[in-house]
Amino acid sequence: MAENDVRATGMPDPQELARLSPEELAQAMEQALDEMTEDTYDQAIIDAYLDALDAKTPMPEAPNVDASYQQFQAMLSRAVPAQGPTRPKRRSNVFRITLRVFLAAAFLFSCLLVAQAGGVDVLGAVARWTDETFHFKVQEDQTTSDWYVPYQEQLESAGLDAAWIPTWIPDGYTVGEIDVDELTTWTDYYIPLNNSDGATIHFFITIYTDPADIGNPIFEKDDRPVQEYQTNGKTVYLFHNLDLMTAVCQDENVLYTLSGDLSEDMVLRFFSGIGSHT
């Protein structure tokens, strides 16, 4: 029998138990249990082994739950940096976003239609047209000093300043007799362009002294759409009046009107030949 071999034949010697290692004590206790029966079971023997074990490796007290959890959190915080509370991600809703974009676009489009019915801003005056008429609407914040250009001082009594005469007229046309009407707040020059075949293109230059009157003239048109062109720093509006076409262009307080059997190319070339007065 080995020196450390303790038989469960009786109460083990505490001194001998003290010499055993915890593993040997556990093994010996297990052996003692194996040799016991229900009749021979002796708790005192088992207690002796347990006491010896407890002396070797004391069992820790029952852990405190709160303290253990705090220790665990401390360990966790050292291992993983603390993070603030995170919001749950909203699932992107493609349909909802698309609907919002569509509604915004529809609203903006309706505003554009209102603006179209209201006209387009041209050098401070708003061009407006319907299916039947075209005219300029003067913005209320315009002042006389913003508009007045001393054209009349440049003109001779019966003629026009060279700057007003278009540098290009359609092939086959010649300038006819110029007629001038002087009214209180505007002067209207009529310059007929006569073709050898008898056709006439009517050219009017109207100079207003009162900026508010630039919105007075009403132009006849049918329900075909108004076309807009940019040339030489000016906007030219071209529209149909039954068999004829009318081109209108505003430059400061001056209104140009061209009416007759016109084409788009003719209109653009004609107005590009008139200098800007800004």
Partner 1 sequence: MKKVSLSLFLVAVLSIIFLCPVKAQAQTWASQSIISCEADILQGNDSGEVIINFTVRATNSLPKIGALKIDIYRTSGDRAATIWGSTSNGLLSSKSTTRYSYRYSYKGIPTVSYYAVVTICAGTSTNYDTREVKTSVVQAPK
Residue ranges binding partner 1 (CB under 8 A):
99-100, 103, 106-107, 109-111, 113-114, 117, 130-133, 179, 181, 183-186, 188, 190, 192, 200, 202, 204, 206, 210, 212-213, 216-222, 240-244, 246, 257, 259
Q: Rounded distance, CA 172 to CA 20, Å?
A: 133
Nearer to partner 1, 77 or 93 (CB): 93
Contact assessment for residue 234 and residue 182, using Cβ atoms and an 8 Å cutoff = no
| Strand (E) or helix (H) holding 76 | helix 65-79
Nearest distance, CB of residue 132 and partner 1, angstroms: 4
Least Å distance between CB 231 and partner 1? 21
Distances (CA, A) of 78 to 63, 72, 84, 276: 22, 10, 16, 77
Of the pair 74, 218, the CB lying nearest partner 1 is at 218
Q: How many other CB atoms are found less than 10 A from the CB of residue 19?
A: 13
Q: How far is the CB of 107 from partner 1 (least distance, A)?
A: 5
Q: Smallest Cα–Cα separation from 205: which of 236, 223, 180, 168?
A: 180
Q: Which is nearer to partner 1, 31 or 195 (CB)?
A: 195
- Based on CB atoms, which residue is closest to partner 1, 27 or 194? 194
What is the three-class DSSP state of 82? coil
The helix or strand, by DSSP H or E, that contains position 256, with its residue range, turns out to be strand 254-260
Query: Cβ 218 to partner 1, closest distance in Å?
Result: 6
**Minimum separation from the CB atom of position 190 to partner 1 (A):** 5
What lies within 8 Å, CB to CB, of 191 at 6+ separation is: 160, 165, 175, 176, 178, 203, 204, 205
Pick the closer one to partner 1 by CB: 11 or 108. Answer: 108
